[in-house]
Structure 1
Amino acid sequence: MDWLERTAKLRQWSRSGARAPHKPLLFLYALGRFQQSGDGELQYSAVEKDLRQLLAEYGPPNKTTPAYPFHHLVSDGVWEVRTDRGPGSPGIGVRELRATGAAGRLVPELRVALRREPSLLGRMARVLLDLNFPPSLHGELCESVGLELEPAETEQLATVRRRRDPRMRELVLTAYEYQCAFCGYDGRIGAVPVGLEAAHVRWWAFDGPDDVDNGLCLCSLHHKLFDKGVFGIGDGHHILVSQQFVGRSPAAREHVIALAGRPLIGPQPGARPIAAAHRSWHTSQVFHGSPRPVTAA
């Protein structure tokens, strides 16, 4: 059985590029627990809080419940659920999962395969990360679910992923003249830019193209916050800052809150600005809550 293929083809609700990472997040969490304990049975009532937090932090802005993937991941052949009444999920309801003592874990065949081939776990995790989340979030997401991945587990899996265009970074940084489109940071060591990255507006994992009109040159801090939904891009290419962001320090006010309503810096004349469709996708699928109102300086 090709577990990598099965991992790559989890059945997820999909419409117009909407994100539904419920199953990948539960699967990553289960792999992390298996890596730590060797078994990884998860009592729903014991892990509900963790799963809810993962969905809040890495899921789409709309409200959702961890009961959904706990029940539905069974249909993908990688997960099983049992209750006090015996094998099988009691349904999608939170109350039913709690009341019946529902517990889930990886199916026996997968547990055997992971013990037989330890590197398989890391490769499966990498598929889940690459197909559902931007690279800027991979490290912290692994920490959140307790996964430790080795460098060798980052191999290209041609059967389950398309190839990235290695030219995108240089094209985007050139279009924005090697400065952060949010704050103007343009640090270099000699002739080499440091701390500047090419961010996808519509995530590559959700068919975002490696094109300049889907890219932003951002400093490392603002790239991470953009992918976390703290920042967005509004009509007129002005910066949106989420009302859900809280920062009381002078640094948080200066580097985040004060950017609300500012126009993007760049791109230079002749370079294509961010396409409206990509901005709209990011606003609906990544940006959290409502934008802060713009106040006079």
Structure 2
Amino acid sequence: MIEEFIQWYENINKARAKDYYAPHKPITILYALVKAANDVRWIEFNKDREKLESIISEFTKYSTRPNCLQPLWRLTNDSKTMPFWTTQPSNIVLNSKGDIPTGSAKENNFKAGFSDEVYNKLKENKAHIHALIRYITEDNFPGSLHETLWELLGVFDLEVQAPPQETITTTVTKVKRDPKFPKLILSLYGNQCACCGLKINFKNNTALSMEAAHIKWKARGGDCNEHNGLALCPTHHYTFDRGIWTLNSDYRIELSDSILINRKNDNFFTPYIGESIGRFILNEELLPSVGNIEWHRKNILK
């Protein structure tokens, strides 16, 4: 069943809004998987709306709160050939956009989730649930954000299960991890944080606490090369992936307009606004591509 689940997931029509990648459906599926791990059959609009929309909002570009009814209902359209998702009641009158009106969802106690067969099979082997959570998370988000997402979803509260015997495979081509990428990027920036310049030497190890960040997320097709990487300390890596700061076309650091920060006492961001990451790179011919920077500004910057 786990292979069929992956096939269904790979073929869903991923949500997009104004050309931004918006992982409404993957997050909704993750939410349903966590519920299934807790032996809960449905995502109920009246009970789960606030929490689900809050999680989706954390990982999308929207400045306004998303409407979770869209993925809850539209996943049924992705299940016409493979009946993995269902809703109750199924006879609600849709609006002109093909979605369920909020008022109708409230009045009819609208709920959505996996089909009976899929839900029962997941309950029989909850190790599959953990494998699927990891698979879908890695398919959509960089590693720096996994713990934040899992904390919000409640993954860490689940009983740990042994991994399934089956190997999850897919025919869909994905960007593979390049084990050389971290060393390549850290060496390019002299083992210094491209934002703050932090460099730690401990027992002749100058790469300590430095991380290689993808500018265009690997999960979204970003390359593992010099033109798509930054050497960053953990703080600036996490905040870069959360969209708190970015780069402009001149490689200068910009802080999100959505972030409220006490600049008088801020030592993490304010001192570096307007500074160029080029001041640390050892080969200016290998500066990040403008296309990757534009992707980050368009999709990740809050």
Quickly name the TM-score band, shorter chain normalised: 0.7 to 0.9
How is 1:131-280 mapped onto 2 (pairs within 5 angstroms)?
A: 131-148=139-156, 152=163, 157=169, 159-160=171-172, 161-192=174-205, 193-248=207-262, 253-264=266-277, 265-269=279-283, 271-280=285-294
CA distance in structure 1 between the partners assigned to 2:168 and 2:177 by the alignment: 10
Counterparts of 2:261 and 2:222, CA distance in 1: 30
2:54 corresponds to 1:53: yes
Cα separation, partners in 2 of 1:274 and 1:23, compared to 1, 3 Å: same
Aligned partner of 1:31 among 24, 30, 33: 33
Q: Matched residue of 1:199: which SS?
A: strand
- Once the two structures are overlaid, the 10-residue window that deviates more, 117-126 or 242-251, is 242-251
CA distance in 1 between partners of 2:63 and 2:298 (Å): 9
Counterpart Cα distance in 2 of 1:25 and 1:7? 12
The one-letter code matched in structure 2 to 1:198 is A
Identical-pair percentage: 22
Structure 1 gaps, min length 5: 289-297
SS at match of 1:254: coil
SS in 2 for 1:255: coil
How far residue 179 of structure 1 moved from its aligned partner, in angstroms, is: 0.4
* Letter paired with 1:124: L
Change in CA separation of 1:187 and 1:157 when aligned onto 2, cut-off 3 Å = farther
Name whichever of 224-233 and 95-104 sits farther off: 95-104
For residues 151 and 177 of structure 1, what CA distance do their matches in structure 2 show? Answer: 41
TM-score by length of 1: 0.86
What amino acid does structure 1 have at the position aligned with 2:130? G
Q: How many residues align?
A: 282
Q: CA RMSD in A?
A: 2.4
State the AA in 1 paired with 2:103. Answer: R
Equivalent residues of 2:87, 2:113 under 8 A apart: yes
CA separation of 1:229/1:90 partners in 2, compared to 1, >3 Å: closer, same or farther?
farther
User: Aligned to 1:247, what secondary structure does the other structure show?
Assistant: coil
Whether the 8 Å CA contact 1:134–1:203 is kept in 2: the answer is yes
- Is the 2:87–2:112 contact (alpha carbons within 8 Å) kept by the matching residues of 1? yes
**2:251/2:276 contact within 8 Å kept:** yes
Q: Which residue of 2 aligns with 1:291?
A: none
Asked if 1:66 is matched to 2:80, the reply is no
